[in-house]
Amino acid sequence: MPATLPPTTWANHHLEWGRQTYVMGIINVTPDSFSGDGIVEETLTPDEIVARAVELARHYVAEGAALIDVGGESTRPDFAPISVEEELARVMPVVKALHASLPGEVLISIDTYKAEVARQALDAGASMVNDIWALRRDPAMAALVSERAVPVILMANMRGYQKHEIVSDVVRFLAQSIDLALSAGVAWERIIIDPGIGFGTTPQENLTLLSRLGELHALGRPILLGTSRKSTIGLVLGGLPPSERVEGTAATVALGVAQGADIVRVHDVHEMVRIVKMCDAILRGHL
């Protein structure tokens, strides 16, 4: 296992690295999630959508999730971007309801690359920002994260990126985004990195990243791994649909934890919490 990093602390929150692996449950407030888990449907009223999100989040927490990640825009390949206004309309009622409904120790993450969405979500009770463009899409995002003194997840996004060798490409991308964050005044201890499995990467590149995930420890920051139900798993397992990729996801989670992943972002919280607990008991002696 890699060397233990100092904890990340902010407001009244605390993430202790190296002792256990945290599980982040996914709530997609979208109609077009790649995994088929988006909770927006034409037949549901806005209040019903919020109620469904709260129910799902409560299940996640009861099953062992420490973080809940709320996103309002699909990130599937060839997704259609939505406006700031539409994204706010989707996520804000959910963030407010989760903040009012969940225990205070549960962290709410806002999955967005738009600074205005992040700002309003943080005002409404979100505790951290998950930026799939690693501060590169919206110039105001780095300053916002710095001003609010919250953690930010920087994800390597290879869409449109000139690749050479995938692991070194991802390390270089993340190192540059870390520099962007630090230059804006984001505290070093509040930066988390994500290799961006499936974001502009081929199936073979995804497998390479997973097999060499430990090399990202050279950047000195906690690692979030998001492989849940992704297409590479379906491909390896003979074309399985997203709903049947639980075992494949479990394999990537277990191998990721073995290489020092600190957070795993998943749809199937119940199963992955069990995987993580077993891995942590073996690797970290955490019972």
Helix (H) / strand (E) containing 85: helix 84-101
Phi, psi (degrees; rounded to nearest 5) at 108 = -100, 120
Q: Taking Cα atoms as reference points, which of 180, 261, 183 lies closest to residue 224?
A: 261
Whether 249 contacts 241, CB under 8 Å: no
Q: Taking Cα atoms as reference points, which of 77, 67, 89 lies closest to residue 32?
A: 77
Which residues, listed in sequence order, are joined to residue 189 by a DSSP beta bridge?
Answer: none
Tokens coding 181 = 């964050």
Instruction: Give the separation between CA 232 and CA 200, rounded to whole angstroms.
Output: 12
DSSP string, 156-225: ---TT---SSHHHHHHHHHHHHHHHHHHTT--GGGEEEE--TTSS--HHHHHHHHHTGGGGGGG-S-BEE
Segments of the chain assigned E as strands: 8-10, 13-15, 22-28, 67-71, 107-111, 128-131, 152-155, 191-194, 224-225, 263-266
Tokens coding 240 = 């399985």
Mode of pairing for the β-strands spanning 263-266 and 224-225:
parallel
Active-site annotation, residues: 230, 265
Using alpha carbons, list the distances in angstroms from residue 138 to 25, 104, 112, 239. 25, 30, 10, 36
